[in-house]
């Protein structure tokens, strides 16, 4: 009887591990050269009249995963992002904290994760956003997120639009 109990426990553990492995998220790449990716995004943004949106976090972070899925699964938000930004997902984890890059951005990790940084087409930091202000309940608020993206878009910061 003891052997059967151990077998059942072992099978349950293996099934749980399989489910967790299948749900493993690969949004952030700890092996990526974030400085290089940001430089490439700045170059593309400059050529395309866009800004750069840095989504900083890690695969370990439930709110980082929620934000990614929230934006990716909402066509309206996704369109606003694609029309206005080059996106770089900057990893922060024990494997790679990207400390040099984050130091050059004014230590945005002080706000927790995810944290967002907007750069212009020259690579200048325009804004750092604590993502907690975009939350509502156990998720994100669509109106706040869209307002955030629109308020930091190239059009919003173009002085010609305010004459």
Classify residue 15: in a domain, yes or no: no
Classify residue 88: in a domain, yes or no: yes
Classify residue 40: in a domain, yes or no: no
d(CA 61, CA 65): 6
Classify residue 26: in a domain, yes or no: no
Classify residue 102: in a domain, yes or no: yes
Give the range among 2-11, 126-135, 150-159 with minimum mean pLDDT. Answer: 2-11
What would the pLDDT profile of 1-60 be if each residue is shown by its tens digit?
677 665 555 555 555 443 344 357 799 999 999 999 999 999 999 999 999 999 999 999
**Quick count: other Cβ atoms within 10 Å of Cβ 87?**
15
Name the residue range of residue 125's domain. Answer: 50-162
What is the total count of domains within the chain? Answer: 1
Dihedral over alpha carbons 154, 43, 76, 157 (to 10 degrees): -10
141 vs 1, 136, 148, CA distance in Å? 53, 5, 11
Between 22 and 114, the more confident residue is 114
User: Which residue has 């996704």 as its token pair?
Assistant: 78
Domain of residue 128, CATH code: 3.40.30.10
Asked if residue 139 has pLDDT above 50, the reply is yes
Q: Write down the pTM of the prediction.
A: 0.85
What would the pLDDT profile of 45-104 be if each residue is shown by its tens digit?
999 999 999 999 999 999 999 999 999 999 999 999 999 999 999 999 999 999 999 999
Burial class (CB in 10 A: 0-12, 13-18, 19+), 148: buried
Classify residue 73: in a domain, yes or no: yes
List all residues 6 or more positions away from 106 whose beta carbon is below 8 Å from its beta carbon: 125, 128
Measuring CA to CA, which residue among 80, 85, 84 is closest to residue 144? 80
Classify residue 43: in a domain, yes or no: no
pLDDT value of residue 18: 39
Classify residue 32: in a domain, yes or no: no
């Amino acid at each position: 009887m003891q052997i059967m109990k151990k077998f059942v426990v072992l099978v349950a553990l293996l099934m749980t591990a399989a489910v967790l492995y299948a749900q493993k998220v690969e949004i952030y790449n700890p092996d990526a050269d974030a400085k290089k990716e940001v430089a490439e995004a700045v170059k593309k943004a400059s050529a395309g009249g866009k800004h750069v949106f840095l989504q900083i976090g890690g695969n370990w972070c439930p709110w980082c995963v929620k934000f990614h899925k929230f934006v990716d699964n909402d066509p309206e938000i996704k369109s606003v992002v694609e029309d206005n930004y080059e996106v770089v997902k900057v990893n922060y984890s024990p494997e790679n904290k990207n400390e040099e890059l984050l130091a050059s951005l004014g230590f945005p990790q002080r706000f927790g994760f995810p944290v967002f940084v907007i750069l212009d087409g020259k690579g200048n930091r325009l804004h750092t956003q604590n993502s907690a202000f975009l939350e509502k309940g156990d998720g994100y608020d669509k109106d706040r997120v869209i307002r955030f993206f629109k308020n930091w878009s190239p059009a919003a910061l173009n002085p010609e639009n305010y004459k």
